[in-house]
Structure 1
Amino acid sequence: MTVRTFTLAVAASALLAACATGEVDYQGEGEGFVGQGVPVRATLETPSVGTAGEDAADDPAIWASATPVTVNGVLTRGFVAGTDKKAGLYIYGLDGAVLQFLPEGLLNNVDLTDGLVVDGRPQIVLGASDRTPGKTGVALYLFDPAGTGDNPVRPWGALTSDVIEPYGFCFARRGSEVHAILVGHEGELRQFVLTADAAGRPVSRLVRRAEIGTISEGCAADEATDALYIAEENVGVWRYSLDPASGAARTLVQPIAPGVLVADAEGLTIIADGAARYLIGSSQGDSTFPVWRIDGAQPAYVGRFVVQDGAVDSVTGTDGFDALGGPVGDAFPEGLVVVQDDVNDTGTQNFKYIDWRDIRSALGL
């Protein structure tokens, strides 16, 4: 992109931001339009979410273990947490099978992290933005990787906030601290430090309050560069510092632009592939996934992909997705990408699993 083209794109995005007061669906090519991108195919999928006839499946988060663990009585080397934003939280196996369902209400985005000790044991902490009336904030859950017996994912409490409609959510590690980052539907940004008290209950401390501007959701932290990426749906992708003292300071990484990122910009995720790290976005308006390499001095756009029919059906209109590099069970030895599909070929919405090697090869990374 030339400097002149970039300047015009920024100006256009600023005008769009000034006019946008809500979600703007891409209208240029009609509903279901799929833009240009290198083709990849999903290898498997989950069952349909339980809420039928509505926009329900939304966002996944991936966890992998080097050794088998027990999740709700099933031996596995990891799981995928996925939200049904009309009903609760699913826990899927690495084969896509349902391991557990928690009927927790209106959960939107989910993420997970390690590094927190609760009751003297290291735990995996899951958090999901919660829009349930009277509970707005972040619903918290724990999984004990050393647990025995049934060992389900279990509710742990909540992180409360002043955000009226919690939307995007992601965790980040800063040194020994676990940070929880909440993005509100109207562009609120709230950052908390999460700990556990002596009784094993969650404790949160607000460390940043800022405003993004307009409707925002996608959230991903690159701990290696202390960066936070947020998608403002009708404007573009921003890079903030993870340091809460930086407040609202930010840099526009990618404005909304045809052929790269089409409104509305939805989920964001980061995958580490050896020494390389990549930011992936969901260009929901044309059902593509743009990719930037982010381990250099500045993010560098490297192309985008689309998910076509293969062993399972194609993917369109993705809201949330997640990626994890390295071994994820036997089937995904170098990484896994899980994406929400808003028009499943049979049943209701679900999640598709894509081998990272196929994306890397298609993009020539």
Structure 2
Amino acid sequence: MPTFRFAARLTAAASILSLLAACATHEVDFQGEGEGFVGQGAPVMAVLETPSVGTVGDDAADDPAVWASATPVTVMGRQTSGFVAGTDKKSGLYIYGFDGQMLQFMPQGLLNNVDVAEGLSVAGRPQLVLGASDRTPGKTGVALYLFDPAGTGDNGVRYWGSIATDVVEPYGFCFGRRGDEIHAVLVGHEGELRQFVLTADPAGAPAAREVRRAEIGSISEGCAADEGADALYVNEENVGLWRYGLDPASGAARTLVQPVAPGVLVADAEGLTTLADGQARYLIGSSQGDSTFPVWRIDGAAPEYKGRFVVVDGAVDGVTGTDGLAALGGPVGPFPEGLVVIQDDVNDVGTQNFKYVDWRAIRTALGL
């Protein structure tokens, strides 16, 4: 997207947000019925969006991940300050720039949820690792990818290998760090929880050691790690939001943070993501049943519910029926204090895609 178009969208969104500022901390009601229903929440707007995913007329776009670099990197010959990865659960993995434009597509099969982690060295070279739950028949498990931040030329995300599991239908996926270890957490459609420690062997191939298995209870998907509290959050779609320990020794022990309930978390309880904003840490969920996004502050003794937001029409169309979302605090390309990327189930033009929301808009709307 040309720079002037991106700037114009940011300006338009900021102007509309200023008109909403007076009532930003109050919830507004967008009543509707059936597909596209939007419940109560503080209104915010996306500032830009990605192109529609390539699978036309189908439920395809699912879950994103966000990564930002302190120095410019090269993706497929284009310089960028990071990227957004997004799954098309019918065909593969997209890589987008912070302008929303596609940088790369990998036709990798039935990938559902994706996440990214730093701190992995492969053959003595620092790498970014991406992991995605893979439902492709014959390869179910976790598909793994690498990106070389120091690469040049046609440097892109590349397939690395996989983690095989006994989970019949991999659904949710997230990374979490414990000290120097990268932990990979897989959530199965039927509520299976599997946790692995991911490393690279001397030959540079992926190696995974299973360190926990537990049963959540019923259909589950969204998961997110809060490394600051050594916690793991999981959404059981028709039950509610659970908090586990990220320490695999904690086993199946858990606390119900929020049951499915009208006005807070409406089934299906879907995606989860965490965001660090200075000393504060937040958990954002997707209340898919009423197209809202509940937010908890999680750096205290217990999660503290802070309210919900909705993404309404503005520079781009609003968001409904979200499957997955991802957030990153601090400088993220043109977003100086953080970015939230949200899958949109019903796009106004074309098929499903991903919307970019400036974290500052959410923080202002909820009075955080």
User: What's the TM-score, normalizing by structure 2?
Assistant: 0.91
- Mapped to 2, the partners of 1:58 and 1:82 lie a distance apart of 7
Q: Which of residues 318, 339, 342 is equivalent to 1:339?
A: 342
Corresponding position: 1:112 with 2:113: no
- Mapped to 1, the partners of 2:85 and 2:316 lie a distance apart of 20
Corresponding position: 1:292 with 2:296: yes
The residue aligned with 1:162 is 166
SS in structure 1 of the partner of residue 365 of structure 2: helix
Q: Which runs of 5+ in 2 are unaligned?
A: 1-31
Q: Which of residues 86, 92, 96 is equivalent to 2:90?
A: 86
Trace 1:153-192 onto structure 2 (pairs within 5 A). 153-192=157-196
Moved over 3 A (4+): none
- Mapped to 2, the partners of 1:173 and 1:112 lie a distance apart of 11
The residue aligned with 2:7 is none
Corresponding position: 1:227 with 2:231: yes
Corresponding position: 1:364 with 2:352: no
Report the alpha carbon displacement of residue 29 of structure 1 after superposing the two structures with TM: 4.4
Q: Deviations over 1:77-116 (max 9, x none)?
A: 0100000000000000000000000000000000000011
- Mapped to 2, the partners of 1:32 and 1:147 lie a distance apart of 42
Trace 1:152-301 onto structure 2 (pairs within 5 A). 152-301=156-305
- Mapped to 1, the partners of 2:347 and 2:37 lie a distance apart of 15
- Using the aligned pairs only, state the percent identity: 82
Report the alpha carbon displacement of residue 119 of structure 1 after superposing the two structures with TM: 1.1
The residue aligned with 1:10 is none
SS in structure 1 of the partner of residue 362 of structure 2: helix
Report how many residues are paired.
337
Q: Which of residues 325, 328, 337 is equivalent to 2:332?
A: 328
The residue aligned with 1:314 is 318
- Mapped to 2, the partners of 1:173 and 1:260 lie a distance apart of 29
- Mapped to 1, the partners of 2:348 and 2:245 lie a distance apart of 40
Corresponding position: 1:42 with 2:46: yes
The residue aligned with 1:149 is 153
- Mapped to 2, the partners of 1:170 and 1:322 lie a distance apart of 11
Residue type of the alignment partner of 1:107: L
SS in structure 1 of the partner of residue 40 of structure 2: coil
Instruction: Give the root-mean-square deviation of aligned CA atoms.
Output: 0.8
- Mapped to 2, the partners of 1:178 and 1:125 lie a distance apart of 10
User: What's the TM-score, normalizing by structure 1?
Assistant: 0.92
The residue aligned with 2:139 is 135
SS in structure 2 of the partner of residue 200 of structure 1: coil
